[in-house]
Structure 1
């Protein structure tokens, strides 16, 4: 990460995944991000953003500084893209993250995943989602969390649990199946296990995991106190992550640990292509209830994207 060279206005829904991608990109490009939360209003909440005739009037006022044209704007997603394109028409320099569902030429730079299937002279495609998980942050987190996890057996398997969404199911039944696979791995491979649910994890899933694993000596975050997420990534000898979250998989493969992906019922072409690419790269394997280890290197395309931002803005 470079030293901050100026602010960047982030146009995004106030969601953890959106902040992770845009803030991570900005900071690694040497910019200091400031969120201007995007909240559609009225009927426009039910209309695809690409159809908004006046995007800046379809959302709550963004409270942008008067000099926003002098600093880059980072927008994300379809609604962010609609607003970002409108700001570019007013003279802003706009970096769009994810497929905007609009022609890429309406932005200064578009950074999307390979599975988004877009192209153009100003389009950069990455294999992973953008994020802020750097080697420096991982080392800091390792020093902070290693003492708290030192009592667990090695190798230490870290488990990142997401949640059901419109594409995959992760309810009580799926949680019980995941718990059974993890318990089998603990018994047969004699591994230590540290698990963190996410904000999206169904409480019934968290309860099933705790019931099955806590008695076997697993460390399970109860979602109180400091968030151990970075510390767990930093201390892991291997990682298991549920397949619903592109962001969590992307952050897991940025470490030096082999990553196993736990399948869930459901289907997503985009996530399927994303996981296929990482499998072909040798970075992930399916989780089958046993510990697997193989030689890996960190895979993180955020730095490629950050370099493209610096070139676009004349900071390189």
Structure 2
């Protein structure tokens, strides 16, 4: 496939199961491609019928998709997209078939480690901490995402009256929750809140606190009760999401160790990233590898109860992945 300046805009199809954290990986990569080369992006959200959802990828076929899914194959008379970018287990059976179904027209990119038929995709953009290797694999620190300076500025506009005048240092605390590897008990959440509160008070700063969908309600309540007295904003999940605004206004970013995505996004801002400990449920070597990578790049350190500032070159791994996609497309 030739990607030349005279070519019409690339048609890019972003495919996921619609979960925000999953979709944003594929969409972030597509938007990075669009910043480098004119592109038209279409988002497709799919789900499998309940009877087939747990079936192995090898046994799934497009007719098993739920009627609520967006169409992923072209209508009569329409062409397959130039570029297919998909993320998540649900998309694997479709991604693995696209090259064949499109007659080789479509360049297929899968983010994350597919763990199934890795040779079926033109390019896999995988986190380095997953340690996946192959001629069609690009390893990056973290995962592709949508965070850019421009997007942060845009996302901050609606919150400027609440955040712009907060005292420095402004601390964004991004709290995850229960997963296979970690837990956030109410007791641990209370301890984290006390440590965060002491650090913010000692620095004379302010706090911007947000929780993930995985944060247990008891942990939310414990942290909110202990931190509500500080200057700042605690997002309770109602109304517009201030996530981009928090990253934009932050002087420091505190991230719980259970989220690779939030750590990588925070490291793209150039602000010091402090990793907050969670309650371990089992060995989490891949998270340890990610945090070691971020430390080596100067972006992150374990939270030690203080708000020491430091500088580093912001990570721009999504843009690097986008350049690789276009380079591989030229050679395809």
Normalised to the residue count of structure 1, the TM-score between the two structures is: 0.90
Asked if 2 retains the 8 angstrom alpha-carbon contact of 1:161 and 1:198, the reply is yes
Query: After TM superposition, what 4+ stretches of structure 1 lie above 4 angstroms from structure 2?
Result: none
Q: Which residue of structure 1 lines up, in the alignment, with residue 43 of structure 2?
A: 35
Asked if residue 237 in structure 1 is aligned to residue 251 in structure 2, the reply is yes
Question: 1:87-126, CA deviations, whole angstroms, 9 ceiling, x for partnerless residues?
Answer: 2221243111111113432111111111222222221110
Report how many residues are paired. Answer: 311
- Structure 1 275/47 Cα, relative in aligned 2: closer, same or farther at 3 Å? farther
Asked if 2 retains the 8 angstrom alpha-carbon contact of 1:158 and 1:195, the reply is yes
Q: Which residue of structure 1 lines up, in the alignment, with residue 97 of structure 2?
A: 86
Q: Which residue of structure 2 lines up, in the alignment, with residue 56 of structure 1?
A: 62
In 2, Cα distance between equivalents of 1:262 and 1:268: 14
SS in 1 for 2:80: helix
Asked if residue 297 in structure 1 is aligned to residue 276 in structure 2, the reply is no
Normalised to the residue count of structure 2, the TM-score between the two structures is: 0.86
Structure 1 residue 218: deviation in Å?
3.9
Structure 1 residue 42: deviation in Å?
4.4
Q: How does 1:75-224 map to 2 (within 5 A)?
A: 75-91=86-102, 92-142=106-156, 144-224=158-238
Structure 1 residue 79: deviation in Å?
3.3
Q: Which residue of structure 2 lines up, in the alignment, with residue 18 of structure 1?
A: 22
SS in 1 for 2:225: helix
In 2, Cα distance between equivalents of 1:140 and 1:78: 31
Asked if 2 retains the 8 angstrom alpha-carbon contact of 1:279 and 1:285, the reply is yes
In 1, Cα distance between equivalents of 2:288 and 2:94: 29
SS in 2 for 1:313: helix
Q: Which residue of structure 1 lines up, in the alignment, with residue 84 of structure 2?
A: 73
Question: 1:131-181, CA deviations, whole angstroms, 9 ceiling, x for partnerless residues?
Answer: 111122223345553432134221111111112112110231221121111
Question: 1:5-28, CA deviations, whole angstroms, 9 ceiling, x for partnerless residues?
Answer: 343222211101111111111111
- Structure 1 296/19 Cα, relative in aligned 2: closer, same or farther at 3 Å? same
Asked if 2 retains the 8 angstrom alpha-carbon contact of 1:78 and 1:101, the reply is no
SS in 2 for 1:293: coil
Unaligned 5+ residue runs, structure 1?
A: none
Asked if 2 retains the 8 angstrom alpha-carbon contact of 1:78 and 1:99, the reply is no
Unaligned 5+ residue runs, structure 2?
A: 1-7
The answer to which of 166-175 and 54-63 deviates more is 54-63
Structure 1 residue 43: deviation in Å?
4.8
Q: Which residue of structure 2 lines up, in the alignment, with residue 280 of structure 1?
A: 296
Structure 1 residue 58: deviation in Å?
4.5
Asked if 2 retains the 8 angstrom alpha-carbon contact of 1:55 and 1:86, the reply is no
Q: Which residue of structure 2 lines up, in the alignment, with residue 311 of structure 1?
A: 327
In 1, Cα distance between equivalents of 2:79 and 2:306: 52
SS in 2 for 1:216: coil
